[in-house]
Structure 1
Amino acid sequence: MNMTAKKRIAIIGAGVAGMAFAILAARQGHFVHVFERRPQTGSELGAGVTLWPNASFVLKQMGLLDEIAKVSGKPKSMVRYDQHSSDPLNQAFSEKSRLAIHDINRQAQNETYSILRRDLMAILFDALQKTQAHIHFSHPVQAEALAQLKTEYDLVIGADGRMNSAARQNITSALSAESSVDNEAVYQGFINVIGISQSPFTLVDKTVIQDYWGDGERFGIVPIDDQTCYWAAGWVSLPKRKSHPFFTQKDLMHRFQHWPKPVIDVLQHAQGASINTIYVHDVNPITSWHNDNVLLIGDAAHAALPTSGQGACQALEDAWTLAQLLPEHDDIDVVLQQFQAKRIDKTTAIQRTGRHIAQTIFHTKPSDRAVDGSISQTPSHAIANFWMSGLIPSNV
């Protein structure tokens, strides 16, 4: 490890990317302040997260994987079922493909875990509390406050999410003098209603992620154990208007009443307070993630659709990669340039994959879907190699 000057670092946002980087930077001795607009951590939207082997690698390097494993599921396969009947009263589904997660894990030499988002955030927050970093809740950062942070800190990290990122606005405004750059999050034509289900009895097969693709509709079930799962119900929808409702358990039971029994069982045991409606947006890939001493990471830089399955994983990779670069260079400009160079190709590919899968699910008739319409058709070694690309164990 090279000796570099300790830096004052401001991090906007205490999501996965912001929290993970704060932990790593504070452990290196940097002076870290995190600014979070919400009143507490873990209060963000989201039911659960699949931590694929690349995320597990980072969490292992951070020393947090044992804690993660205690509260996580370990799925061994993902099965996709496609609707093969257009009769609304007989929505027959059959197995279309099967992804051997255990084989990907073996190739990647790291495990896959499924975890409730609140549990992941609690573990990250606990790790942050054990450092000298300071976190400021109920502290939103907009343009004026960002300008102030830029003068007070050596490095300002924009980890402020996909929808209204002040840091992304700052950077794209600087870029737009040279080219046309779109800072706005892009609605992708579908909604996700997400939630958590729990039963005193066996509810799901704890080893299998179930993914049902209908005609413009989808229902995915991710087990934590055989009595607990999180899920996402998706369907094509116009953009949100003020009058648009948030959907309830009753609404979902009606919409999916003729779907296979596992879907019905999960909905019957849904925890009402966990149900949330999300009008799903991503961002177009942008050409630069940094300007002056401001750097975007996580969803602020490269928000992908949930169909990519890689949102939290890429946030963790960002945090890890940036923390690896900090001890190597005193010059912040060099750090920011190298970070983008190391990360942008991979995250852009993941953004595009997410859009391709969403297009296949929500905007392609079941009869017109190509056999390779999902990741399940990709060889496990190719998936493992791509997900693990750029990840090298630390010698710091």
Structure 2
Amino acid sequence: MSPAPTPSRSALVVGAGVGGLTAAVALAARGWHVRLEDVRDTVDSRGAALGLWPAAWRGLEDVHVTPGLGEAHPYRAATIRSVDGRVMGHLPLGRIEKRAGAPVRLVTRPALMAELVSRARAAGVDLALGTAFGGPDRITGHDVVIGADGINSVVRGHVAGVVRPRSLGAEVWRGSCDGTVGHWGEIWGRGMFAGVTPAGTGRTNWYVPVADSAPVSSFRDLQDRLAGWPAEIRDAVARTDPPALLRHPLHDLPPLPAYSRGRLVLVGDAAHAMAPSLGQGACQAVLDALTLARLLDEDDVVPALVRYDRVQRPVGERLVRRSRRLLALQLSPRWSPVRDLALRVTAPVSPRWA
């Protein structure tokens, strides 16, 4: 048997999140030598459930990530209800499945991250944790540097200058618990809303974004604020172990002048961090990474990055803008009666990104 050919091109990926790991796996599968660096000493796999829309799922299938996601849960029915339990609308999950030929799937972030790390190691990716990005001089020895280092990206400053995250005027509480509940979907109140989704076999994921204008001070306060809300969110929150709670402020990014510069390029939250309202953050990180790998396979590096910017930046900007608007609508106490009426005649999420 002849020896395997030596990889002819080299990529440095900065950031071991969903986008960075997907880019590393996709490029390694195309014969690139890939070094993946992250400033943290361990891969951060914290998080609850996230949705993978059909296009993102198909992309992960192409790089053989999905076989390890055996607990991915098809998400086919979810309602939007008021605090008193009235159904105001339905998420268009059936339309998405009909259009794309496949359902939205829910996976836990820890499961997705574990499978991506496993695939990266199997593909020969050089995983260097506890390593800080040393600046654009690191391009020496690599054909491309991919900034996948999140909303507070260091690489972004070398691509787009100083671009600071914008506050969305809210924070989110997240958690998961054993057991399932009676209804999946979201509950929209005034100044806060809640969601409950499957999170693998026999588990439930929940999230509660809260406007800064009416903050929640503690886990006990959160439970008090949910008194009178439908039972599934109250029960899911009550069954959650407090040390497993996640709580953080919500931010997004303003539009960038470019996603690439020379042989530097951005993917995922480093390029277009967005509000969670459309459920597109992880999906777009995956699609960015896979699109980038495909274009780099088709062209020289700099022209490929120019094409990537032209293709992905309008998509990222549109999703950031629409996610921001939807979050404001979800949290608005002033416009909630109009919002609730509008929900009865239109879906808040478009199937176009399937």
TM-score (norm 1): 0.82
1:169 counterpart = 2:169: no
SS of 2:24 mapped into structure 1: helix
Tell whether the 8 Å contact from 1:360 to 1:373 is kept in structure 2 after alignment. Answer: no
Shift of residue 371, structure 1, vs aligned partner: 4.2
Q: Pairwise mapping of residues 66-145 of structure 1 onto structure 2 (< 5 A)?
A: 66-68=67-69, 70-83=70-83, 92-141=84-133, 145=134
1:197: which partner in 2?
177
- What is the aligned-residue RMSD (CA, Å)? 2.3
Secondary structure of 1:139's counterpart equals: coil
| Structure 1 residue corresponding to 2:186, chosen from 208, 211, 223 | 211
Q: What secondary structure is seen at the aligned counterpart in 1 of 2:310?
A: helix
AA paired with 1:156?
A: V
The one-letter amino acid of 1:231's match is W
Q: Match of 2:24?
A: 22
Tell me the CA shift for residue 93 of structure 1.
Answer: 3.5
Distance 1:101 1:12, change over 3 A: same
| Aligned residue in 2 for 1:152 | 141
Match of 1:377, SS state, is coil
Moved more, 46-55 or 188-197: 46-55
Change (3 A) 1:296 1:25: same
CA distance in structure 2 between the partners assigned to 1:374 and 1:36 by the alignment? 45
**Residue 12 of structure 1 contacts residue 34 of structure 1 at CA under 8 Å; is this kept in 2?**
yes
Mapped partners of 2:95, 2:111: distance in 1: 26
Q: Deviations over 1:239-273 (max 9, x none)?
A: 99xxx96x43x332222122111111101211323
Equivalent residues in 2 for 1:257-268 (5 A)?
Answer: 257-268=227-238
User: Which region of structure 1 is more displaced relative to structure 2, 8-17 or 369-378?
Assistant: 369-378
Task: Classify 1:375/1:27 alpha carbon distance in 2 versus 1 (closer, same or farther; 3 Å).
Answer: farther
Change beyond 3 A, Cα 1:342–1:374: farther
Misfit runs of 4+, over 3 Å: 370-376
The count of corresponding residues between Structure 1 and Structure 2 is 347
1:48 paired residue number = 49
Does the 8 Å CA contact 1:192/1:278 hold for their aligned counterparts? yes
SS in 2 for 1:300: helix
- The C-alpha deviation readout for 1:281-328, integer Å capped at 9, x for no partner, is 000121201112110111101111111210000011011111111121
Alignment partner, residue 183 of structure 1: 163
- CA distance 1:226–1:126, shift in 2 (3 Å): closer
Change (3 A) 1:27 1:255: same
User: Could you tell me which residue of structure 2 aligns to residue 227 of structure 1?
Assistant: 202
Query: Contact (CA 8 Å) 1:19, 1:125: kept in 2 or not?
Result: yes
List per-residue Cα deviations over 1:16-48 (Å, max 9, x = no partner): 10000100101111111011122222x254222
C-alpha contact 1:56 1:111 (8 A) present in aligned 2: no
Matched, 1:349 2:318: yes
The whole-number CA distance in structure 2 between the counterparts of 1:37 and 1:290 is 22
Give 2:297's aligned residue. 327
Residue 236 of structure 2 corresponds to residue 271 of structure 1? no
The CA distance in 2 between the partners of 1:272 and 1:375, in whole Å, is 38
The Cα of 1:216 is off from its aligned counterpart by: 0.6
Q: Which whole-Å deviations, capped at 9, do the CAs of 1:194-226 have from their partners, x for residues lacking one?
A: 111113xxx314xx5320111011111111357
Given that residues 157 and 297 in structure 1 are in contact (C-alpha distance below 8 angstroms), is that contact kept between their aligned partners in structure 2?
yes
Contact 2:29–2:63, Cα closer than 8 Å, also in 1? no
Kindly state the Cα deviation for residue 101 of structure 1 after the two structures are TM-superposed: 1.4
Structure 2 distance, partners of 1:93, 1:370, is: 13
Cα distance in 2 for residues equivalent to 1:184 and 1:237: 19
Residue in 1 that maps onto 2:3: none
| Counterpart Cα distance in 2 of 1:352 and 1:318 | 17
Which residue of structure 2 lines up, in the alignment, with residue 387 of structure 1?
A: 353
Q: Secondary structure of 2:190's match?
A: coil
Consecutive unaligned residues of structure 1, counting only runs of 5 or more, are 84-91, 174-181, 389-396
Amino acid at match of 1:59: L
2:224 to 254, 271, 292: 254
**In 2 relative to 1, CA 334–373 (structure 1 residues): closer, same or farther, beyond 3 Å?**
farther
How many angstroms apart in 2 are the aligned matches of 1:209 and 1:283? 30
Q: Tell me by how many angstroms 1:148 deviates.
A: 2.9
Structure 1 pair 225–315 and aligned structure 2 pair: CA distance change class (3 A): closer
